[in-house]
Amino acid sequence: MTSESSASIGANRGLVEYTHWIYGLHALSIIMALAGAHTVALRFAFGLPSIVAVIMNYARRSEARGSWLETHFRWQIHTFWYSWLWIIVTSIVAIPLLIVVIGVAIEIVGLALVGMWVVYRIVRGWLALREGRSVPVAR
């Protein structure tokens, strides 16, 4: 790690720890899903820890603006809202197909794919934060 990135981490230490807490809340939703009967996608999108985490994102997003942490805030917010989008799309496709029974399989596969995507995004983002790196975010 360069001295420049060390300095930026030191200057934003409180915000870095705050971002770790947000990733931790998202991870808690994932762990709760794996320990229970819910899918990861549904527990992530509708679970209280993830809802609290996204509220925390919006509450301090302006403090991260212009720093490397801004990418993490955007990454977390996009992960949350895109999981909602893909759950809705999966349901819209699957519900009409319930008549011919294939809808159940489409819903199960769709939610599993969204869940794997969520796990990937949380793990990748948290590892990047731990290493003091930004995450790639499309603008």
Cβ proximity of 45 and 87 under 8 Å: yes
Domains of the chain: which residue ranges?
A: 3-130
Position 67 pLDDT exceeds 50: yes
Chain position carrying tokens 């990748």: 124
Q: Rounded to two decimals, what is the model's pTM?
A: 0.85
Q: Read off the amino acid at residue 40.
A: V
Specify the pLDDT at position 4: 42
Q: What percent of the chain has pLDDT over 90?
A: 72
Specify the pLDDT at position 130: 95
Cβ proximity of 134 and 71 under 8 Å: yes
Cβ proximity of 63 and 18 under 8 Å: no
**How many angstroms separate the CA atoms of 24 and 3, rounded?**
27
pLDDT digits (tens, 9 = 90+) for 81-136: 999 999 999 999 998 888 888 888 999 999 999 999 999 999 999 999 999 999 98
